[in-house]
């Protein structure tokens, strides 16, 4: 399967910057051997989807509510994201788990809502630095997967060690390979043969200079890119390093 390079703009970008990033992506993406996805803030999804229409580059949200509609002031449903032009949604990002207290159960409910609305969920998991130092990264990630993925899950998993996000630090290649093999095993045990075909993205300080090494590792199905996705040239540099 082609690798997926997904950009998470987080809470960054106004109309002018959206055009400044998405416009060059549209031209630079031609002939790439991987799939591209851009996840701008919700206010820019429709705008970015317009700019990227017909380019083959997908657009996604960064969160959705677990309910389809109703009295949830300020929240956005999966159907609204889809209506705005999104095909994917990032769920359970560590920043949402930390800032909004999202539990695995909440992430699972949101994942079901995304699937029901026809979106592809990208479910994020990852250990803290304390977990890693204590050697309990597999236990932590295993528990997150068990709690966050619904039965019959069909979507994308993103492994993002919390301590590698926005820090410039990454795990060793061996540690990334070990964790992706572990996640692959969990998915296969839970989902059977379908689990072997799901993409597992690596996220956390991916940049053009480390992308080829990370994307070359077994069971790495692509990247979830934060900071470097705010610069079209850097994002395309990562995409060019992806395996076909």
- 212, with CB counted inside 10 A (0-12, 13-18, 19+), is middle
State the catalytic residue, choosing from 65, 88, 93, 180.
93
Catalytic residue check, 160:
yes
Q: Does 224 bind ligand PGA (CB under 6 A)?
A: yes
Stretch of 48-56, 107-115, 171-179, 222-230 lying at the interface with ligand PGA (CB under 6 A): 222-230
The pair of three-digit structure tokens given for residue 112, joined into one six-digit string = 């079901």
Q: Does 38 bind ligand PGA (CB under 6 A)?
A: no
Q: What are phi and psi of 2, to 5 degrees?
A: -65, 150
Minimum distance of ligand PGA from residue 201's CB (angstroms): 9
Q: Does 156 bind ligand PGA (CB under 6 A)?
A: no
Gap between the Cα atoms of 148 and 111, Å rounded:
8
Whether 34 contacts 4, CB under 8 Å: yes
Beta bridge mates, 4: 35, 222
Minimum distance of ligand PGA from residue 73's CB (angstroms): 26
Q: Does 195 bind ligand PGA (CB under 6 A)?
A: no
Gap between the Cα atoms of 216 and 244, Å rounded:
10
Which residue has its beta carbon closest to ligand PGA?
226
Q: Which of 152, 147, 137, 155 is nearest to 204 (CA)?
A: 137
Stretch of 43-51, 108-116, 176-184, 203-211 lying at the interface with ligand PGA (CB under 6 A): 203-211
Q: Does 166 bind ligand PGA (CB under 6 A)?
A: yes
Q: Does 227 bind ligand PGA (CB under 6 A)?
A: yes
Stretch of 21-29, 110-118, 130-138, 158-166 lying at the interface with ligand PGA (CB under 6 A): 158-166
The pair of three-digit structure tokens given for residue 110, joined into one six-digit string = 């949101």
DSSP 150: P
Gap between the Cα atoms of 6 and 19, Å rounded:
17
- Which residues contribute to the site for ligand PGA (CB under 6 A)? 8, 160, 165-166, 203-206, 224-228
- Catalytic sites, residue numbers: 93, 160
């Amino acid at each position: 399967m082609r690798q997926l390079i997904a950009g998470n703009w987080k809470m960054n970008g106004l109309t002018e910057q959206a055009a400044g990033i998405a416009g060059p992506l549209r031209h630079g993406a031609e002939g790439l051997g991987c799939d591209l996805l851009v996840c701008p803030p919700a206010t820019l999804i429709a705008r970015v989807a317009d700019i990227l229409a017909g380019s083959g580059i997908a657009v996604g949200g960064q969160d959705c509510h677990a309910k389809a509609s109703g009295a949830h002031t300020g929240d956005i449903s999966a159907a609204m994201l889809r209506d705005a032009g999104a095909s994917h949604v990032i769920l359970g990002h560590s920043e949402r788990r930390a800032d909004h207290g999202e539990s695995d159960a909440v992430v699972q409910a949101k994942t079901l809502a995304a699937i029901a609305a026809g979106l592809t969920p990208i479910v994020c998991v990852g250990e803290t630095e304390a977990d890693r130092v204590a050697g309990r990264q597999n236990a932590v990630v295993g528990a997150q997967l068990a709690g966050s993925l619904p039965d019959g899950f069909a979507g994308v998993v993103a492994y993002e060690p919390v301590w590698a996000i926005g820090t410039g630090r990454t795990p060793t290649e061996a540690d990334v390979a070990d964790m992706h093999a572990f996640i692959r095993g969990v998915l296969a045990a839970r989902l059977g043969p379908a689990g072997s075909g799901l993409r597992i993205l690596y996220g956390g300080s991916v940049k053009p200079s480390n992308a080829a090494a990370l994307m070359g590792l077994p069971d790495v199905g692509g990247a979830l890119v934060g900071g470097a996705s705010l610069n079209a040239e850097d994002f395309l540099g990562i995409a060019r390093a992806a395996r076909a």
